[in-house]
Amino acid sequence: MSYISDAVISNAVDLIINTRDFCGNEKQAVKDFCAEEKIADWRKVYGIANFRANALWNQYQKDAGVNPKYTF
């Protein structure tokens, strides 16, 4: 199992959040990012980054005053 740095995960989280803002395809964005960075296991990066992005996205929603029953 290969090591994935926190910087790569952090960049992938930012990419997922930005892609959500523009209603884009998050998986494809992470897949393209990993291809550019020459990271073979894009699914692993996506899994970790998506989990963290969901937590961050939920916090953004709560900070914006969205009713908690409408968040993940």
pLDDT, tens digit, 9 for 90 and up, residues 9-21 = 999 999 999 999 9
Q: Tell me, yes or no, whether 35 lies in a domain.
A: yes
| pLDDT value at residue 3 | 87
Closest by alpha carbon to 14, among 47, 44, 43, 56?
56
Q: Tell me, yes or no, whether 1 lies in a domain.
A: no
When divided into structural domains, the chain yields a total of 1
Place of tokens 């073979």: 40
For the stretch 15-67, pLDDT in tens is 999 999 999 999 999 999 999 999 999 999 999 999 999 999 999 999 999 99
Our CA angle for 13, 31, 1, nearest 5°, is 85
Q: Tell me, yes or no, whether 59 lies in a domain.
A: yes
Write out the residue range of the structural domain in which residue 33 sits.
6-70
